[in-house]
Structure 1
Amino acid sequence: MALLDRLRVYPVKGLDGIELEAADVLEGGTLARDREFALEDADGDVINGKRTERVHDLRTGFDPDTAVLEARDEASDGEVVQFSLETATDRDRAAEWFSGVFGVDVSLERDRTLGFVDRREMGPSVISTATLETVADWFDDLTVDGVRRRLRANIEIGGVEPFWEDRFVGDDAPAFKIDGVRLEGVTPCGRCVVPKRDPDTGDALPEFRERFVQKREATFPDWADEAAFDHYYTVMLIARVPGSDRGETLRVGDGVRVVDD
């Protein structure tokens, strides 16, 4: 039986994610607490893994009930610091701390209605557990949880086949519902430099992209619309929640079904 197996959000864009048992769909169509905060330099450019490997030195935790962020820089003294991100004072303190980490003046910005997702007109990212298991099998040194942390999806679907999420893009693609919440596929997720790096050390796996593309092409599902994919360095679905279903709640364990209407 297909079900919502995991929910993960990334409270500060580019930093560690947290597991949730339930998440509300925001007015903007994204999940509550996902990329709610972002570190930006003076030009408004975001600090993330695409920009600097330094993010891999950081370990962060976040309490979604209190908005308290814990952070530790393993490349320095490793001292744990805490900031209550509900207060402007502590957001300024956090910005000062992160400025020291990254060596550039940053501010900590907040967006409660949409978050700082890359594709601001879209919604949650979706992947199946079987896809994660398959990708992990392509590489000798990867675990399923390691791939999960590299790919950074919001919604993980269990009880389905590998690359199940590929069916929701292309001409005449169906949608799916998690309990009563409808999600429509928008685009496959082309990947950047981040997935090839170890999420803990930042070390790049040699020839990651080349092997990934080779295996992805060889195992591309017959039932997926290949014309909807620009290239094979692609995995994960970016979805959209229609306006009528925003404000609803997704819960781990909810049933999932494909709908054609």
Structure 2
Amino acid sequence: MQVPYLAGIFIYPIKSLDAVSVTQATVLASGALEQDREFAIIDAKGRFVNGKNNAKVHLLRSSWDEAANTVSLQIQGQAEKRTFHLEQEGKELQAWLSDFFGFPVQITRNSLTGFPDDLIASGPTVISTATVETVASWFPGISVDEMRLRLRANLEIGGVPPFWEDRLFANVEEVVRFQIGEVLLEGINPCQRCIVPTRHSRTGESYANFQKVFLQKRRETLPSWVNSSRFNHFYRLSVNTKVPRSEAGKILHIGDEIKCLSTEHMS
């Protein structure tokens, strides 16, 4: 039997924009992955400008150059690409984004914690490759790669059957401790999905009846051993985690073996 292993690591340097696939990632003291959601776009009232509240986000293509400390932006379907230095050209970047969205926005940064959706389970989100493949098969016309872009998980597990990651959560107030390489993580709960997976990752076009089909198929394929009490509805997929402060500075690597350890009461 194949041993579960870390097959993919994805970080999102600017919250809600495109992923960067990396071969390793360092764990911060907050439990987040270094550079993941380190930057965010906010409006004049300090609210995130993201795919949940603005479908235009899907039209933004971004590429990240860590060494040069730049981000390149391009509007889907257009040839022009603009590159901005994140420290030296921040005002120009904000002006370009404001023009794109049609209202004033700013770029904000938090290198210590990033900007996670879940402040309690602020660690990386986990899903298996087989799950991504299975969920893609529910929707004609959606490829595996496109489904991966819609689900936006941080860590992808190989060598396991679909929905294997559902073993990484237990009862309310409990955590499932598991290890990826040298890094200890705690599984918290199945992730509640938002409107983002219902839309094409690059155009924002909605897929008809996506949520209805998802709910039906998720219910039908839920493994018998899963703790179904954690599903007040079935629009949940992937696992939210937190990472103990003791793991700060440790590094996740592609190929790291994954081991389930124990279920414990949440501290």
1:236, distance to aligned residue in structure 2 (A): 0.7
Runs of 4+ with >3 A deviation: none
Letter in 2 for 1:51: N
Aligned residues of 1:170 and 1:227 also touching (Cα < 8 A): no
**1:106 alignment partner in structure 2:** 105
Aligned length: 258
Letter in 2 for 1:34: D
1:224, distance to aligned residue in structure 2 (A): 1.1
Query: 1:82-161 maps to which residues of 2 (within 5 A)?
Result: 82-85=83-86, 87=87, 89-121=88-120, 122-161=122-161
Q: What's the secondary structure of 2:185's corresponding residue?
A: strand
Aligned residues of 1:33 and 1:64 also touching (Cα < 8 A): no
Query: 1:219-234 maps to which residues of 2 (within 5 A)?
Result: 219-234=221-236
1:53, distance to aligned residue in structure 2 (A): 1.0
Aligned residues of 1:114 and 1:120 also touching (Cα < 8 A): no
Residues in 2 aligned to 1:151 and 1:92: alpha-carbon distance in whole angstroms: 31
Q: What's the secondary structure of 1:260's corresponding residue?
A: strand
Residues in 2 aligned to 1:41 and 1:207: alpha-carbon distance in whole angstroms: 31
Note the residue ranges of structure 2 that are not aligned, 5 or more in a row.
none
Task: Answer with 213-222 or 58-67: which moved more.
Answer: 58-67
Note the residue ranges of structure 1 that are not aligned, 5 or more in a row.
none
Query: 1:64-83 maps to which residues of 2 (within 5 A)?
Result: 64-74=66-76, 77-83=78-84
Aligned residues of 2:14 and 2:40 also touching (Cα < 8 A): yes
1:203, distance to aligned residue in structure 2 (A): 0.8
Residues in 1 aligned to 2:79 and 2:44: alpha-carbon distance in whole angstroms: 27
The match for 1:215 among 186, 197, 217 is 217
1:173, distance to aligned residue in structure 2 (A): 5.7
Letter in 2 for 1:81: R
Q: Deviations over 1:78-137 (max 9, x none)?
A: 41101111x1x3122111110000011111000001101111232110000010011011
Q: What's the secondary structure of 1:200's corresponding residue?
A: coil
Aligned residues of 2:178 and 2:260 also touching (Cα < 8 A): yes
Query: 1:22-33 maps to which residues of 2 (within 5 A)?
Result: 22-33=24-35
Q: What's the secondary structure of 1:54's corresponding residue?
A: helix
Residues in 2 aligned to 1:90 and 1:15: alpha-carbon distance in whole angstroms: 19
Aligned residues of 2:184 and 2:244 also touching (Cα < 8 A): yes
Compute the TM-score of the two structures, normalised by the length of structure 2: 0.93
Q: What's the secondary structure of 1:238's corresponding residue?
A: strand
Q: Deviations over 1:153-202 (max 9, x none)?
A: 00000001111111121236632110121111112111111101111111
Alpha-carbon RMSD: 1.3
Q: Deviations over 1:194-224 (max 9, x none)?
A: 1011111111110000000000000101111
Q: What's the secondary structure of 2:232's corresponding residue?
A: coil
Aligned residues of 2:29 and 2:247 also touching (Cα < 8 A): no
Letter in 2 for 1:134: T
Task: Answer with 127-136 or 66-75: which moved more.
Answer: 66-75
**1:7 alignment partner in structure 2:** 9
Residues in 2 aligned to 1:50 and 1:40: alpha-carbon distance in whole angstroms: 13
Residues in 1 aligned to 2:44 and 2:189: alpha-carbon distance in whole angstroms: 31
Q: Deviations over 1:35-63 (max 9, x none)?
A: 10001111000111011111121111002
**2:245 alignment partner in structure 1:** 243
Letter in 2 for 1:64: E
Compute the TM-score of the two structures, normalised by the length of structure 1: 0.95
Residues in 2 aligned to 1:56 and 1:220: alpha-carbon distance in whole angstroms: 30
Percent of pairs with identical residues = 41
Letter in 2 for 1:96: A
1:237, distance to aligned residue in structure 2 (A): 0.5
